[in-house]
Structure 1
């Protein structure tokens, strides 16, 4: 389906089943963290999925392309970004499976079904609000905890996830203690952690965490993932993630 672009927008090819994404060159564009999160999420056939703080809609669109989920919702508070993500859904003819919701995640349980989703995902703002000069800037809202903080995200995920359902999140390792502590506070038991390193010999700069609602205490640390090899190119593991077209559980 053809959609109309604004002056500062472009269409990017996601290199997956012909899927495309509208992005604003003046706004926050998706990065490797969204791709890693969409790959990390385990989504069974027929699952109902919610992505909190969806931004451009990249995670719902990737999950739609890589899984057989029946319904995928993306929640975005910024109206202009929500509208752009909605056009990306139309661009890919995914209206029957993907829907973008313009809402504050702090109020999301008044709109979406409590305990109604098999999988929740989130690539939330990583940074504190210290030193923000323009709190209405789209990039600042995407990167800093201006509209929601870490506890808001985990609380919302707990409210939406059905018992034994999964919550998948990507964040910074420096927040890991907060992430795990808040998870348990809201009955989200951490089950798997994977650290993402820029390259071998460098400290991790991202961490993927899988939670289970009302799960038993048992945590597995997965092998680390390295983004770049010694030659400066993506490692074979990362190339495999970009090439992987199926994240579903049969």
Structure 2
């Protein structure tokens, strides 16, 4: 069992569940979240993003979808062990397993590489079970008008991401590019979109303070 301390919470996960990484940590700090919001994590894995958001804002109504039964149970266990309540649904996020338009914030740390694209992210990072377009469709279905969808992705997928967001009524409003140093190209893209938001996006760059 692996353990990571996310003050004031503790995250644990067994072999076979996707590990906590710097991308999830960055997204957990980037996403806008406020007290009492209804939050849903698509493809939650161990539930790391739920804990990262819960430590930033109290009284969140936490929900998640995860297709892998072991990971889904791990997320439930992490909520219970940290005295947090929430609903983790085991199933395919494309199947609309939760009510439409009910969430103030949807987040996701999704697969990065299209099938047969030659990426080296391993099976957990392949879009074999959910494409970027399908992920944005699911988020657009779940988030309420004026609500937010925040996710991390690869900078080279920027055009695909922005097109997919807009196609599902999600207007990009914040975009951050993270790099390891001023001399390195960005290695991570963070985007937050607003359901039925007005056009106009704020762009910034910054250094990654932690890498796994």
Q: TM-score range by the shorter chain?
A: over 0.9
Q: 4+ residue stretches of structure 1 with deviation over 6 A?
A: none
When the two structures are superposed, what TM-score results if normalisation uses the length of structure 1?
A: 0.79
Deviation at 1:10, TM superposition (A): 2.7
1:44 match: 34
Given candidates 37, 47, 53, the residue that maps to 2:43 is: 53
Which entry has the higher C-alpha Rg, 1 or 2? 1
Give yes or no for contact 2:66–2:88 (8 Å, CA) kept in 1: yes
Q: Deviations over 1:184-228 (max 9, x none)?
A: 111110111000101111000110001010011111112x1212x
> RMSD of the alignment, in Å?
1.9
Aligned pair count reads 209
Given candidates 115, 120, 126, the residue that maps to 2:112 is: 126
When the two structures are superposed, what TM-score results if normalisation uses the length of structure 2?
A: 0.92
Q: Deviations over 1:141-198 (max 9, x none)?
A: 4211121110111000000010011111100011000000111111110111000101
Given candidates 160, 171, 178, the residue that maps to 1:189 is: 171
Residue 221 of structure 1 aligns to a residue in which SS?
strand
Alignment gaps of 5+ in structure 1: 1-8, 133-138, 228-233, 239-250
1:143 aligns with 2:131: no
Deviation at 1:82, TM superposition (A): 0.8
Deviation at 1:83, TM superposition (A): 1.1
Alignment gaps of 5+ in structure 2: none
1:211 match: 193
1:103 match: 91
Deviation at 1:140, TM superposition (A): 4.3
What is the CA–CA distance in structure 1 between the aligned matches of 2:180 and 2:115, rounded to whole Å?
Answer: 25
**Map 1:14-29 → 2, pairs under 5 A:** 14=6, 16-17=7-8, 19-29=9-19
